[in-house]
Amino acid sequence: MEDSNYVPTSISHKQLNTLLTKARKSHPSIEHSITSHQNLEKKEEFKELTAKWQELSNEILSHLSKKKEYITEGKGANSLMALGAMEVHLNMAIQALKASQKE
């Protein structure tokens, strides 16, 4: 077997310090570029997610604005008010999203 694959069952503090001293230091620019790349991926993922959310919200608002019978049928006054509140909140949320994308 190769010595490089050997894993000791225990190691002294002195041996550990020697290994840490000899270990190559990672280059900060490499770590930064990896972090930046991960941030770009997450940013793009969030952008796609909000775009899907906005599309679905607009579709819901379209159905609500038509005030079709299939939406209001069998609903009580409280349910209709709740749907109205949802409509208002979706509109405000879309406006907030648009405002957040300006800068």
Q: Per residue in 43-102, pLDDT tens?
A: 999 999 999 999 999 999 999 888 778 888 888 999 999 999 999 999 999 999 999 988
Predicted local confidence at residue 32, as pLDDT: 65
Instruction: Tell me if 45 is assigned to some domain.
Output: yes
Instruction: Tell me if 92 is assigned to some domain.
Output: yes
Instruction: Tell me if 16 is assigned to some domain.
Output: no
Measured in degrees and rounded to the nearest 5, phi and psi for residue 26 equal -75, 145
Predicted local confidence at residue 65, as pLDDT: 87
Domain range enclosing 37: 29-101
Instruction: Tell me if 23 is assigned to some domain.
Output: no
What domain count does the chain have? 1
Instruction: Tell me if 7 is assigned to some domain.
Output: no
Predicted local confidence at residue 26, as pLDDT: 66
Instruction: Tell me if 15 is assigned to some domain.
Output: no
Sign of CA dihedral 76, 79, 83, 88: positive
pTM of the model: 0.60
Contact 83, 75 (CB under 8 A): yes
- Average pLDDT over the chain reads 85
Predicted local confidence at residue 51, as pLDDT: 96
Instruction: Tell me if 42 is assigned to some domain.
Output: yes
pLDDT grade, residue 15 (50/70/90)? confident
Instruction: Tell me if 11 is assigned to some domain.
Output: no
